[in-house]
Amino acid sequence: MDIIIKNGCIHELDKHLEHSGATKLYIITDDNVGRLYMDKLKGIIDDYTMGIYILTPGEESKSISTVLSIYDALIEQNMDRNGIILSLGGGVVGDIAGFVASTYMRGLKYIQIPTTLLAQVDSSVGGKVGIDYGGYKNMVGSFYFPELSIVDVQFLKTLPRREITCGLGEVLKYGLIWDYGLFKYTVDNMKNIYDGDMDILLEIVERSVAIKKEVVDKDRYDIGLRRILNFGHTIGHSIEACYGFTHYNHGEAVILGMIYESNIAYQMNLIDEGYFEEIYERLKGLVEPIKFDKDDIEKLIHRMKMDKKNIKDRIALVLPVSRGKVKLFMDVNEWLIAKSLEGEWI
Ligand code: ADP
Ligand code: ZN
């Protein structure tokens, strides 16, 4: 799998298509991204026979019915194994397009062009594809690696502010689990990032992708080391779910998760007060932490017990142990988790 990360690298797409020998393309995008970038993309690849599928933006599109309707469209277009599926959009578009590419005719070539910060630093590496099912996120899916990911930070210029925050959740996570320097660089350049400074965005995307690649390469099928990528996600996911996936986006929930989980690490004496305060002070400006009440805490902990990492109903958490380093703890005291969520320290 190849990945190109640059400012303006979308223009390299035709060169790569030529190389692949494909003649037919099927583009999957969403309404917003299509409106902003479809003309530009068509300008770059106008020599190819093209089909286009435009999704309604948002998580609701990540369903089996969307997938079925794309299969129908592909059959209608006589798409065969010489064709390429090309996704242009955020995580939702990428997850669906990748899932379709991995299953239609037992797999078509797939090129991914992620257009959100979250998708660029997260789903562009790791090969996870899938859809939501039965009320659960990412319930059905598989691993399928695109033959090429084109990560062009230029797309981030039009990204709404909240979507930048969403991606920053993952960037800051890479810093806290692997590279404290990246954490520092990101928090010190926060204003420039929101102002769309391309050089800084390129730097944080490159460094994040390199970290994810290193972690994933060491653990391709998600059985060991890769779990550290879950920092902030155990509590984050439960917050996301308890608010019905609408109040907080994924990255915002992860930012909250990292704050509460760092507080737990501080309570356990894994990190000193200085480091906890640093994380808290830097992150609270992005998403405001809350003091959860008793009922909420019960719901949140109940949800955490359903996490894949757990053995029986003991809660496993990835916790910081020093600057830029985390470890997986298999049985974290529930009382400490509750105490952190109560938020006396806020
Ligand atoms: P995520 O990558 O956060 O999972 P989604 O696929 O849900 O993202 O995309 C988040 C929102 O941002 C969607 O409404 C999508 O249409 C929009 N979007 C994606 N990329 C861009 C972009 N480059 N500019 C503006 N809006 C975009
Ligand atoms: Zn995440």
Domain range annotation of the chain: 2-156, 161-342
Q: Give the percent of the chain with pLDDT over 70.
A: 98
pTM, two decimal places: 0.95
Which residue type is seen at 323?
Answer: R
Q: Which residues pair with 87 in a beta bridge?
A: 28, 112
Q: Of all atoms in ligand 1, which is nearest to the CA of residue 116? A: 20
- Which of 163, 168, 246 to mutate to test ligand 1, by most ligand atoms within 8 A of the CB atom? 163
For residue 87, give the ligand nearest its CA: 1
- Tell me which residue of 165, 202, 162, 203 sits closest to 182, measured CA to CA: 203
Q: In terms of DSSP bridges, do strands 317-322 and 325-329 run parallel, antiparallel, or are they unpaired?
A: antiparallel
Q: What is the CA radius of gyration of the chain?
A: 20
> Out of 3.40.50.1970, 3.30.10.20, 3.40.50.880, 3.20.20.80, which CATH number does the structure's domain 2-156 have?
3.40.50.1970
User: Ligand 1 centre and the CA of 61: distance in Å?
Assistant: 13
Q: Of all atoms in ligand 1, which is nearest to the CA of residue 119? A: 2
Whole-angstrom distance, CA of residue 35 vs CA of residue 23: 24
> Out of 2.60.40.1150, 3.40.1010.10, 3.40.1260.10, 1.20.1090.10, which CATH number does the structure's domain 161-342 have?
1.20.1090.10
For residue 34, give the ligand nearest its CA: 1
Number of CB atoms found within 10 A of residue 75's CB: 11
User: Ligand 2 centre and the CA of 267: distance in Å?
Assistant: 24
Q: What is the pLDDT of residue 236?
A: 97
Asked whether the beta carbons of 249 and 239 are under 8 A apart, the reply is no
Q: What is the pLDDT of residue 225?
A: 85
- Between CA 177 and CA 33, with CA 159 as vertex, the angle to 5 degrees is 115
**pLDDT at residue 311 greater than cutoff 80:** no
Asked whether the beta carbons of 309 and 230 are under 8 A apart, the reply is yes
DSSP H helical ranges for 120-222? 161-178, 180-188, 190-194, 198-217
Q: What is the pLDDT of residue 23?
A: 82
Reported as a pLDDT band with limits 50, 70 and 90, residue 222 is low
Model confidence pLDDT, tens digit, residues 138-170: 899 999 999 999 999 999 999 999 999 999 999
Sequence-distant (6+) residues with CB within 8 A of 3 are 124, 125, 148, 149, 151, 209, 213
Structure tokens at 315: 């809660």
Model confidence pLDDT, tens digit, residues 88-146: 999 999 999 999 999 999 999 999 999 999 999 998 898 899 999 988 888 999 999 99
Rounded to an integer, the average pLDDT of 13-42 is 93
User: Ligand 1 centre and the CA of 156: distance in Å?
Assistant: 10
User: Ligand 2 centre and the CA of 252: distance in Å?
Assistant: 10
